[in-house]
């Protein structure tokens, strides 16, 4: 039986290194480094999971009540982070996107279509099969995204 690993969400780089990359990204895009933007980055870094911009806004509000961070700043910063591969997202169509830190070990996702729960997993046999498929079609695989959609056990029970 093949063992499926649930990955730990440990980032592959230190926060200090990520922060320096972020400052360089802002400079390259002629944007100012602000406390608000830093808090958005640190929120993604320090919280495990997948978050909508609105959920990130609520976390920031609860943890930094004196910091005035607008939702538009969160959307713009997340877009910038995603374009730089510092953050990644899973799209839910008209329901928007959920973001996570993009500098973690590779993993795939299984998503509940009822409640939106997202679980991460890693399966070595799936990874090898994908590489074999790419090679058989003449491709040198550089990256991939795998999403499995279904109904989680809790939603199955709560028909």
CB burial of residue 27 (10 Å; 0-12, 13-18, 19+): exposed
108 annotated as a binding-site residue: yes
Q: Lowest mean pLDDT: which of 14-18, 141-145, 153-157?
A: 141-145
Q: Annotated binding residue at 66?
A: no
48 is in an annotated binding site: no
* Helices and strands, counts by H and E, the chain: 6, 5
The domain tally of the chain equals 2
Instruction: Please tell me whether residues 87 and 143 are part of one structural domain.
Output: no
Cα distance between residue 104 and residue 115, in whole Å: 24
pTM: 0.79
User: Which residues constitute the domain of residue 44?
Assistant: 15-101
Residues 43-75: tens digit of each pLDDT: 999 998 899 999 999 999 999 999 999 999 999
Looking at the fold, whether 24 and 54 belong to one and the same domain comes out as yes
Instruction: Give yes or no: residues 125 and 71 share one domain.
Output: no
Query: Would the annotation count 143 as a binding residue?
Result: no
The reply to whether 71 and 40 lie within a common domain is yes
pLDDT digit string, tens, across residues 82-140: 999 899 998 877 778 999 988 887 888 899 989 888 888 888 898 899 999 999 999 99
Q: Is 100 annotated as a binding residue?
A: no
155 among annotated binding-site residues: yes
Give a yes or no: residue 1 inside a domain: no
């Amino acid at each position: 039986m093949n063992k499926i690993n649930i990955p730990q969400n440990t980032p592959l780089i230190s926060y200090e290194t990520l922060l320096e990359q972020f400052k360089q990204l802002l400079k390259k895009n002629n944007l100012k480094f602000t406390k608000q933007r830093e808090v958005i980055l640190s929120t993604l870094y320090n919280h495990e999971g997948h978050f909508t911009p609105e959920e990130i806004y609520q976390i920031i509000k609860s943890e930094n009540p004196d910091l005035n961070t607008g939702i538009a700043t969160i959307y713009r910063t997340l877009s910038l982070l995603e374009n730089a591969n510092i953050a990644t997202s899973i799209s839910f169509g008209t329901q928007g996107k959920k973001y996570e830190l993009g500098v973690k070990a590779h993993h795939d996702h299984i998503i509940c279509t009822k409640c939106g729960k997202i679980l991460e997993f890693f399966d070595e046999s799936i990874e090898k099969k994908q590489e074999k498929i790419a090679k058989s079609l003449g491709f040198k695989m550089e990256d991939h995204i795998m999403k499995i959609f279904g109904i989680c056990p809790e939603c199955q029970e709560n028909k």
